[in-house]
Structure 1
Amino acid sequence: MTSVDKPTDQVRQEGDSQQDSDTKAVTQAALLDAFGGVRGTVETMVPGLLFVMIYTVNRDLHSAAIAALSVSVLLVIVRLARRDTVKHAFSGVFGVAVGVAFALFTGNAKDFYLPGMVYGLGLGLAFFVSALVGYPLLGILLGPIFRENLSWRTRNPGRKKAYVKASFAWGTIFLAKAAILFPLYWWADTAQLGWVLIALKLPPMVLAVYFTWLFLAKAPPPIDVFAEMEAEELAEQAAKAATERAAAAERGEA
């Protein structure tokens, strides 16, 4: 049966199904690009894992710090050699470098993890507060990737609602993680804190990304403001060309 022979309702259902599939695919690709995917998250785990492993064995802050910083730089070099995206790797190097500098400055190996913990707490609060005030941080971060910028705020209320829900999910997960880690910072030793941090690295991130995908996949598709601007520019150019042709024709008749 061809599409001409199919009932109108069936054709419409198939079209809606295809649109939903395309929206989910675009959402998944955008999330992978924004958060680095599983590979990016694993790469951010490796330096911390190496740090806690070495420190657990020899209790030497300097060797553990040097190893963690060295492997984070090596991961960037590998990505550069393969011409892969390096933004997540560079952010990992920066985070490790700050942790190493802080731990060496205080002389407390546990402080290697403190900057990342404070950053996670701040990020959780930012997600939560931004959702409460109607400017969900996730929408601000993902808007350019979806080519919608901030059009979801005024032109796509269903999408704004999805961003609010997703931002609340991220905020809740980050704050719950902080509620576990900060008591351990005071009560546990460096090795114990490090292993808990490693264990809590990937699962919360995967859960947050899953909730984001779930909410956005059910939301209306993004409004491509870049395509709109390009269409407007082409229309202006066509109108200008038509005006010039009309003026040229009038001069020819005169």
Structure 2
Amino acid sequence: MSDKHDSADDQGDDREPGTLLEQMGGIGGLIYSSVPIVVFVLANTLWGLMPAIWCALGTAVLITVVRMVRKEPLQPAISGFFGVAIAAFIAYRTGSAKGFFLFGIWASLIYGSLFLASTLVRWPLVGVIWSSLNSHGKGWRADRKSVIGYDIATLTWAAVFGARFIVQRWLYDTDQTTLLGIAKLAMGYPLMIVALLVTVWAVRRADKRRHLLESDKEPEESDDEAEARLRSKYGDPAAAEH
């Protein structure tokens, strides 16, 4: 029985980094998402705002078509297209090239605030999202070490979004459009990959502890009883602050 659990754990650990990356569109998706930004910045420098908007939109459409032809996952491409479309619309309405980055700037503030707030109320978003996607329930909250791991991962995401907002908002206010484009690329997926690595660490840590609990679970013991036993062993993370 324990050998099966160990085998399942090993397979799960091997899949986790790949699954997270695949949800972002894989390595190709990371590259594709950067192309419209580069095209916009270059076109704006050479020809001005309107040609830059059309070039960015055209590039996003072309990427979507290429992914369809190659039968690659469409969700990242479609999401990327709508992101470029919203950014282009804001740039058109504001009449300024820097408006192309405004949506992403404020989105970073909102996301960062949500991730930070979730740790303050002891429901770290990384744990909530992962357990919801995999139907793991809320038992992880009874394990203080799992909660701490998810807190660290969630705060890492909050720091990434917070850094993006602070730096890019300053560049926006000082009208440095070219540097704003460079900052968006440099602070985009490179920082996200760092946050993903921390997330994978937290997920693996929590999942191993969850599997350990399940392997020790008595045949007639309910999930609530098992959770209560874990809570008595490790303490209540919500009460640990007091």
Count of equivalent residues: 211
Determine the structure 1 residue equivalent to 2:203.
Answer: 216
Which whole-Å CA distance do the structure 1 matches of 2:161 and 2:170 have between them?
Answer: 15
Compute the displacement of 1:156 (Å): 6.0
Determine the structure 1 residue equivalent to 2:19.
Answer: 30
Contact 1:72 1:93 in 2 (8 A): yes
Give SS of 1:50's match: helix
Cα distance change, pair 34–141 in 1 and its aligned pair in 2 (3 A): farther
Determine the structure 1 residue equivalent to 2:82.
Answer: 94
Cα distance change, pair 149–91 in 1 and its aligned pair in 2 (3 A): farther
Output the TM-score relative to the length of structure 2. 0.76
Output the TM-score relative to the length of structure 1. 0.73
Q: What is the identity, as a one-letter code, of the residue corresponding to 2:156?
A: A
Contact 2:140 2:210 in 1 (8 A): no
Deviations 1:131-182, CA, capped at 9 Å, x for gaps? 221222223333344x225434556665444322211110111102211111
Which whole-Å CA distance do the structure 2 matches of 1:178 and 1:71 have between them?
Answer: 26
Contact 1:139 1:160 in 2 (8 A): yes
> Structure 1 residue 163 and structure 2 residue 150: aligned?
yes
1:121 to 109, 121, 132: 109
What pairs with 1:6-85 in structure 2 (closer than 5 Å)? Answer: 18=7, 21-58=10-47, 60-85=48-73
Structure 2: gaps spanning 5 or more residues: 212-242
Which whole-Å CA distance do the structure 2 matches of 1:195 and 1:138 have between them?
Answer: 28
Determine the structure 1 residue equivalent to 2:186.
Answer: 199
Deviations 1:79-103, CA, capped at 9 Å, x for gaps? 2222221111111111111111111
Q: What is the identity, as a one-letter code, of the residue corresponding to 1:26?
A: R
Which structure is larger by alpha-carbon Rg, 1 or 2?
1
Q: What is the identity, as a one-letter code, of the residue corresponding to 1:218?
A: R
Structure 1: gaps spanning 5 or more residues: 1-11, 225-254
Aligned Cα root-mean-square deviation (Å) = 2.7
